[in-house]
Amino acid sequence: MHSWLRGAAIAIASAAAAVVVSQMMRNPVAGQASDAGIARAADGKPDLNGIWQALGTAHWDLQDHQARSGPVLELGAVGAVPAGQGVVEGGEIPYQPWAAARKKENFDNWVTRDPEVKCYLPGVPRATYMPFPFQILQTTGDIVLAYEYASASRVIRIGKADPAPVDTWMGQSLGRWEGDTLVVDVTSFNDQTWFDRAGNFHSEALHVVERYTPAGPDVLNYQATIEDPKVFTRPWNIRLPLYRRQDTNVQLLEFKCVEFVEEMMYGSLRKKTGNEKPFSAARLRWP
């Protein structure tokens, strides 16, 4: 009886707290709705918390590209590649001559070479504009970016960080605020990730500077400067908007794609039982 009453009291208090929290989420207490409706965190910085996603087709190709058939004939229209306008400032990716040849090779061998096909970590900036949502969790200290694709994640340290001990797929992210822009300096990459499904690539000398700038309550302008003296002749920029997901009760779900690539990667090593379903009857054709 006593503990029942206590439980009920706790439940009511929790419900009240939940209401307060959800109200706070809608109308951030500390956030003066100034500057084109940009919400602000308790420390006065723009409040980037939320679930964001790129539209468009940068994940297919950072540059202008027309619609084309996909590599699996049986998928027909569903597997075709949509057209898109490029997100590279000036249109050109300034490859060194050897690298331009390699990019073309990558494009011609997309299915066998693209790390995304194997469910590998996407790297930066590719993680940002994949066709999956990601969530920003912003505190006055660290900021975490959680991506639905492959459960990828990054911690952005604000201020200082020691040199990264090892090269990584997602790099080491160091953040700072310049006015209302979150600037993230990303270093210590390996050479394994790509920028898109068109074979655009980099070396381990990659250095990315990202800029996240609110352009209203539900839009972030995303800009990234890409520098890699081993692959490009000069730094180059991409620029695209990120949109806040407005869906009711939206949350990140799981796209744990390892499960979808095991047969492709390890199927030849599986013990044969005679009951196997063929991996795919589909014929590959690319490009």
Note the residues at the interface with another protein (CB under 8 A).
Answer: 10, 14-15, 17-22, 24-25, 28-30, 42, 49, 119-121, 135, 137-142, 144, 146, 150-153, 155, 165-166, 168-170, 192, 249, 251-254, 256, 258-259, 262, 265-266, 269-271
Cβ closer to another protein: 74 or 262? 262
Rounded to the nearest 5°, which phi and psi values hold at 114? Answer: -70, 120
Cβ closer to another protein: 178 or 254? 254
In angstroms, what is the minimal distance from the CB of 35 to another protein? 20
Q: Are 117 and 261 in contact (CB under 8 A)?
A: yes
Cβ closer to another protein: 88 or 186? 186
Q: Please, what sign has the CA dihedral across residues 103, 200, 206, 86?
A: positive
Cβ closer to another protein: 98 or 260? 260
Q: How far apart are the first and last CA of the chain?
A: 71
3-state secondary structure the chain: CHHHHHHHHHHHHHHHHHHHHHHHHHCCCCCCCCHHHCCECCCCCECCCEEEEECCCCCCCCCCECCECCCEHHHHHHHCECCECCCECCCCCCECHHHHHHHHHHHHCHHHHCHHHHCCCCCCCHHHHCCCCEEEEECCCCEEEEECECCCEEEEEECCCCCCCCCECCCEEEEEEECCEEEEEEECECCCCECCCCCCECCCCCEEEEEEEECCCCEEEEEEEEECCCCECCCEEEEEEEEECCCCCCCCCCECCHHHHHHHHHHHHCCCCCCCCCCCCCCECCC
In angstroms, what is the minimal distance from the CB of 133 to another protein? 11
Cβ closer to another protein: 150 or 220? 150
In angstroms, what is the minimal distance from the CB of 121 to another protein? 6
In angstroms, what is the minimal distance from the CB of 28 to another protein? 7
In angstroms, what is the minimal distance from the CB of 67 to another protein? 32
Cβ closer to another protein: 137 or 219? 137
Cβ closer to another protein: 61 or 148? 148
In angstroms, what is the minimal distance from the CB of 216 to another protein? 20
Cβ closer to another protein: 84 or 133? 133
In angstroms, what is the minimal distance from the CB of 263 to another protein? 9
Burial class of 3 by CB neighbour count within 10 A (0 to 12, 13 to 18, 19+): exposed
Q: Are 137 and 235 in contact (CB under 8 A)?
A: no
